[in-house]
Amino acid sequence: MRDSTNSRHYSPQADFWIDKVASRALAVVAREKNGRAKAADPELLVLMRSCLLNGDREACHSTLLAMTESGVSREDVADLYIPELARKLGEEWCRDEISFATVTIGSSKLQALLRELGPEWRSDHRSGPDAPSALVLLEKDENHTLGAQVLAGQLRRKGFSVKVMLSADRDEIEQTTARSRYDVVMISTSRPETIEPVRKLVNLVRAVMPRPTPIVLGGAIEGRGLDIRSLSGADYVTNNVDEALRLCGLEKFIQKDARLTRRR
């Protein structure tokens, strides 16, 4: 793994995690040999979290490389491990177990890993002229951008052309939605206190869209015991992108990314 092509990423600090991560990743891949994992492996999460909080960026890169070279797919790392690590960091901060600075640094490293995993997922080069389109929105006071970026990558792998608007103001959103036709609008939010701004955002989008378009709400706010759908006015509430597409009548795109080849 430490060949010349990757030498610029290697740091001695990474030694502590690489062998353990590679060994565990091989066991996970053997267990999931019949398909992609349905959930992140708890032991791998512990190792990744340790590197995330205690290692430098090169150590995190080496740990990520150990996982993917051992056979864990880029898609699983992006869709399962990175969101789960972000969620755990948020929960630990809420319990005063880690500082806000630690969460911020950890989230920054996760975003860097996500960019490294799939640089092509940040653009629409996979989509053709007749590709379905999606608008991914984040309310302007929402600062948890990682979930929206993970979602955009998932949609692009399924062939969607995706417009992402993070912390955009009302005028920007109105201009974008009024002049474009989207097949689905997806809004991510994390905190109950954002429900009222999100409701206003949903009403704005619905009012200016040139045609009726389903609006899906997701994010960490789901599962808080609130009637999110009624409070927000969204058509659907889910954190599962396949379920969202099915609810919106776009189910033919659900398994498209399963045909992508893995990068070793």
Shared-domain flag, residues 39 and 145: no
Is residue 185 assigned to a domain? yes
The Cα–Cα gap between 213 and 84 comes to 30
Q: Please tell me the predicted confidence (pLDDT) of residue 182.
A: 92
pLDDT tens figures, 35-56: 666 788 999 999 999 888 888 8
Is residue 94 assigned to a domain? yes
Q: Which of these, 109, 134, 116, 115, lies nearest to 124 by C-alpha position? A: 134
Q: Please tell me the predicted confidence (pLDDT) of residue 202.
A: 93
Q: 86 near 71, Cβ under 8 Å?
A: no
Positions of the chain with pLDDT under 50: 1-10, 258-264
Is residue 264 assigned to a domain? no
Q: Please tell me the predicted confidence (pLDDT) of residue 206.
A: 92
Is residue 211 assigned to a domain? yes
The Cα–Cα gap between 46 and 49 comes to 5
Q: 219 near 188, Cβ under 8 Å?
A: yes
Shared-domain flag, residues 17 and 110: yes
Both structure tokens of 174: 């109105």
**CATH number of 194's domain:** 3.40.50.280
Q: 183 near 213, Cβ under 8 Å?
A: yes
3-class secondary structure, 188: strand
Cut 0.85: pTM above it: no
Shared-domain flag, residues 137 and 193: yes
Q: Number of folded domains in the chain? A: 2
Shared-domain flag, residues 181 and 237: yes
Q: Please tell me the predicted confidence (pLDDT) of residue 219.
A: 83
Shared-domain flag, residues 143 and 34: no
* Cα dihedral 237, 240, 241, 244 sign: negative
**CATH number of 19's domain:** 1.10.1240.10
Domain finish residue from 61, 86, 117: 117
- Domain interval for residue 248: 123-259
Q: How many CB atoms lie within 10 A of CB 31?
A: 10
The Cα–Cα gap between 259 and 256 comes to 6
